[in-house]
Structure 1
Amino acid sequence: MSMDQPDWPEYDDGRAPDCEVEGGAEGGVPIESVRGRITCMAPLAPLVWFKAGGVADWLFEPADIDDLKDFLQRLDGRLPVMALGLGSNLIVRDGGVPGVVVRLGKPFAKVEVLDDCVLACGAGAHGILVASTARDAGIAGLEFLRGIPGTVGGFVRMNGGAYGREVADILVDCDVVMPDGQLVTLPARDLQYSYRHSDLPDGAVVAAARFQGTSGDPKAIGAEMDRIAKAREESQPLRTKTGGSTFKNPPDKKAWQLVDEAGCRGMTLGGAQVSEKHTNFLINTGSATGADIEALGEAVRRKVYQNSGVGLEWEIQRVGRV
């Protein structure tokens, strides 16, 4: 076990996690048998694309699936649990994230080609790795994952999608560690997918997934991946401190167009800005806080509603204490 115990600021309510508590005592975490890495009061800003926001009470990076199962079983629901992938579609609020943030690293990042054009993917695997592995194996239908910044765990939980396809189209089943530490395998139908939503319970951590493709020509697959990569580069502010799509597309409408028509292109609040390149992206210009980014998004929602009568829904996840 590796454990870091830095100094921490008190929160507004005067409480901070007890970094000395072991063995599952009330208010603490069961660190005695952890084989991975657990850090108290871990800064999350370096781990998310916006590079803003507070700390996690605890950050747990399990050594393997058994380490994760054992930890959650012994935690026994005493604290909230949140999984973190690349943090590409996440606003972390400045008050920090209560409970335990679980980050799946290299032990969960493998991609394996199975029979019948199925890929078995760890939840920590990046979409680019999944798409590239499929290409090399001549498996078509997964090219769109090249265009989603994130990891398999996030794709599965949020029914990630881009360029006309989504995870619901390719998911066979997934391995999920439930909040009580039980490992279950859920077929795609049990997730009750809708637009950027699944019925996975809070605190459940996706550990792996199987994706179904079809036989294809590696050159054609590669060409489609290149097209997607080029389209993203040309249309999205990828070389800034940003997140993914801020708002969901309303039925038969484009969120970016509604934002643009409301006069929000380039709009700023504190250190946050609506992208000039793609108006459904927010940017940290360098000094933005989590509060700046979220408040700018809310200001955009108000202006869009005033202009068009459409109430935009957040697609970016907002987590933590205000």
Structure 2
Amino acid sequence: MNGAALLETLTAGLPSLRGRLTAEAPLKDYTWFRVGGPAEVLYSPADEADLAYFMKELPAGIPITVIGLGSNLLVRDGGIEGVVIRLGRGFGDIKIEEGSRLRAGTAVPDVKVARAAADAGIAGLTFYRGIPGGIGGALRMNGGAHGTETCEVLVEARAVDRQGNVHVLPVADFHYAYRHCGAPGDLIFTEALFQGRPGDPAKILAEMDEIAAYREEVQPIKSRTGGSTFKNPPGNKSWQLIDAAGCRGLKIGDAKVSELHCNFLINEGNATAADIETLGETVRARVKETSGVELEWEIKRLGNP
């Protein structure tokens, strides 16, 4: 089934849908690498109720892929079959609650959560200033930076399953580990509740400024990149292993290992997803050859070659 045919099927079968469906939507527009093929159909839900309706009525044989803000994502050049779901404005609210708690929709960028917490005098969420992407991705990857991880501040999260049921999961149900979430893969997170602690807004903002300055100094944040490419192996740092393997500045086409921070791959202009993935696999092979360590991808790679 091509995008137009799938769109026609979905439109006919979902008469009460309020969200937007787009056939053959170019996903490169939604990833920080700015590469990748199209979604057969892209769905942008209006809100959680719209998403639940869509999931309940969607035929079981149609595959679903969920993407966030695209910061740690590589979409392959052949695109993604079925429906790609991307949460937007209907999942962008932030609410401050009693007891130094903050509730945020999963389409909210991490940096906005950090800023809202600072403005409200809530300490403990400053680390989100150093994580690209959105809250949905942080939940799914146990996003962390500067010594703190999502599992340490999350209270609970709302999610919709493949049958359209809404769940509220306490943090224990996520079974978190380093860059790992053990919650069922078919859940689409819609909202998260975080627990901070009372703090002085000026001090929190100063800490955020330090984090921002550090990132700009040591990471290629102004380039087309996907953030940290590989997870840190136990007892090692990926960038040190990559550097020791002689991969700093290595290029394939317009894909390049950053010379500023060699656990970042960058698109210097016209790289394809294949260029970037091949470069990453070349780095993995050289690190394995020189150190015996097998690097594990942190960037999510989706779609067909």
Report the TM-score when normalising by structure 1: 0.92
CA contact (8 A) 1:22 1:31 kept: no
1:161 aligns with 2:144: yes
CA contact (8 A) 1:80 1:203 kept: no
For 1:320 and 1:106, how far apart are their aligned partners in 2?
25
Matched residue, 1:136: 119
Matched residue, 1:285: 268
For 2:152 and 2:6, how far apart are their aligned partners in 1?
46
Matched residue, 2:156: 173
SS in 1 for 2:104: strand
Measure how far apart 1:32 and its partner are.
Answer: 2.7
SS in 2 for 1:300: helix
CA contact (8 A) 1:30 1:71 kept: no
Percent of paired sites with the same residue:
50
Matched residue, 1:96: 79
For 1:29 and 1:255, how far apart are their aligned partners in 2?
49
CA contact (8 A) 2:159 2:188 kept: yes
For 1:321 and 1:266, how far apart are their aligned partners in 2?
27
Measure how far apart 1:22 and its partner are.
Answer: 4.3
Q: How does 1:76-115 map to 2 (within 5 A)?
A: 76-115=59-98
CA contact (8 A) 1:58 1:101 kept: yes
Measure how far apart 1:30 and its partner are.
Answer: 3.9
Measure how far apart 1:242 and its partner are.
Answer: 0.6
For 1:275 and 1:29, how far apart are their aligned partners in 2?
47
What are the ranges of 5 or more consecutive residues in structure 1 without an aligned counterpart?
A: 1-14
Matched residue, 1:16: 2
CA deviations 1:101-145 (Å, max 9, x no partner) are: 111111111110001111010011111110111001110000000
SS in 1 for 2:77: coil
Measure how far apart 1:33 and its partner are.
Answer: 2.3
Counting matched residue pairs gives: 305
1:184 aligns with 2:167: yes
CA deviations 1:30-77 (Å, max 9, x no partner) are: 443221111011100011000001011111101111110000111143
Partner amino acid, structure 1, of 2:85:
V
Q: Of the candidates 32, 35, 48, which is equivalent to residue 15 of structure 2?
A: 32
CA RMSD of aligned residues (A): 1.4
CA contact (8 A) 1:81 1:202 kept: no
CA contact (8 A) 2:42 2:86 kept: yes
For 2:13 and 2:276, how far apart are their aligned partners in 1?
34
Q: Of the candidates 236, 246, 249, which is equivalent to residue 263 of structure 1?
A: 246
Where does structure 1 differ by over 6 angstroms across 4 or more consecutive aligned residues? none
CA deviations 1:267-303 (Å, max 9, x no partner) are: 0112210001100000111111111101100000000
For 1:97 and 1:23, how far apart are their aligned partners in 2?
18
Measure how far apart 1:201 and its partner are.
Answer: 2.6
Partner amino acid, structure 1, of 2:116:
T
CA contact (8 A) 1:176 1:208 kept: yes
Measure how far apart 1:195 and its partner are.
Answer: 1.0
Matched residue, 2:135: 152
SS in 2 for 1:19: helix
Report the TM-score when normalising by structure 2: 0.97
Q: Of the candidates 179, 189, 206, which is equivalent to residue 206 of structure 1?
A: 189
1:119 aligns with 2:119: no
After superposition, the Cα gap between the structure-2 partners of 1:77 and 1:20, relative to the gap in structure 1 and judged at 3 Å, is closer
Which has the higher mean CA deviation after the structures are superposed, 79-88 or 48-57?
Answer: 79-88
Structure with greater helix share of residues = 2
Matched residue, 1:8: none
Q: Of the candidates 232, 253, 260, which is equivalent to residue 236 of structure 2?
A: 253
CA contact (8 A) 1:22 1:32 kept: no
1:232 aligns with 2:215: yes
CA deviations 1:4-31 (Å, max 9, x no partner) are: xxxxxxxxxxx6345366455xxx9844
Matched residue, 1:72: 55
For 1:117 and 1:304, how far apart are their aligned partners in 2?
44
CA contact (8 A) 1:83 1:203 kept: no
